[in-house]
Structure 1
Amino acid sequence: MSERILAFLFQFVTHIIDAGGYGGIAALLSLNSCGVPIPSELILPFSGYLVYMGRFNLFLVATAGAVGCNIGSAVAYWIGAKGGRPLVMRYGKWVLMSAHDVDRMSRFFERYGSIAILVGRMLPIVQTFVAFPAGIARMPRLRFHIYTTVGSFIWYTCLAWAGMKLGAAWNTDPRIQQIFHRFHLVVEIALLLAVVYFVWSHLRRRGHADVA
Structure 2
Amino acid sequence: MVESLINAVIFVLDKTGYIGITAAMALESACIPIPSEAILPFGGYLSFTGRLNLLLIIVFGTLGGMLGSIGAYFLGRIGGRPLVEKYADKLRLSKSRLEKSDYYFNKYGEKIVFFSRLLPIIRTFISLPAGISKMEIKKFVVYTLLGSLLWSIFLGYAGYKMGENWTIIRSWFHFADMALVIVIIGFIVYKIIVKKVRK
TM-score (norm 2): 0.73
The equivalent residue for 2:191 is none
| Matching residue's letter, 2:54 | L
Q: Distance in 1 between matches of 2:139 and 2:112?
A: 12
- Three-state SS of the structure 2 residue aligned to 1:114 is helix
**Following TM superposition, by how much is the alpha carbon of 1:142 offset from its aligned partner in structure 2, in angstroms?**
2.1
From 23, 29, 47, the equivalent of 2:19 is 23
Q: Tell me how many residue pairs correspond in the alignment.
A: 166
Q: Distance in 2 between matches of 1:40 and 1:109?
A: 25
- Are residues 1:163 and 2:159 paired? yes
Which aligned pairs between 1:1-212 and structure 2 lie closer than 5 A? 5-87=1-83, 109=105, 112-170=108-166, 177-181=170-174
The equivalent residue for 2:192 is none
**Following TM superposition, by how much is the alpha carbon of 1:84 offset from its aligned partner in structure 2, in angstroms?**
2.9
Contact 2:6/2:35, CA 8 A, preserved across alignment: no
Spell out, residue by residue over 1:17-54, the C-alpha distance to the aligned partner (whole angstroms, 9 max, x if none).
11211110010011111100101111111111111111
Q: Distance in 2 between matches of 1:7 and 1:122?
A: 22
Q: Distance in 1 between matches of 2:83 and 2:173?
A: 34
Q: Distance in 2 between matches of 1:152 and 1:12?
A: 23
| Matching residue's letter, 2:38 | L
Spell out, residue by residue over 1:80-111, the C-alpha distance to the aligned partner (whole angstroms, 9 max, x if none).
11123454799xxxxxxxx69xx9xx597477
Q: Distance in 2 between matches of 1:26 and 1:151?
A: 16
Spell out, residue by residue over 1:54-84, the C-alpha distance to the aligned partner (whole angstroms, 9 max, x if none).
1122221111011111111111111111123
| Matching residue's letter, 1:116 | I
Q: Distance in 2 between matches of 1:46 and 1:35?
A: 21
**Following TM superposition, by how much is the alpha carbon of 1:138 offset from its aligned partner in structure 2, in angstroms?**
1.7
- Relative to structure 1, is the Cα distance of residues 57 and 180 closer, same or farther in structure 2, using a 3 angstrom cutoff? farther
- Relative to structure 1, is the Cα distance of residues 139 and 111 closer, same or farther in structure 2, using a 3 angstrom cutoff? closer
| Matching residue's letter, 2:151 | W
- Three-state SS of the structure 1 residue aligned to 2:151 is helix
Spell out, residue by residue over 1:90-139, the C-alpha distance to the aligned partner (whole angstroms, 9 max, x if none).
9xxxxxxxx69xx9xx5974773221111111101110111111111222
Alignment gaps of 5+ in structure 1: 91-98, 189-212
TM-score (norm 1): 0.68
Q: Alignment identity in percent?
A: 42
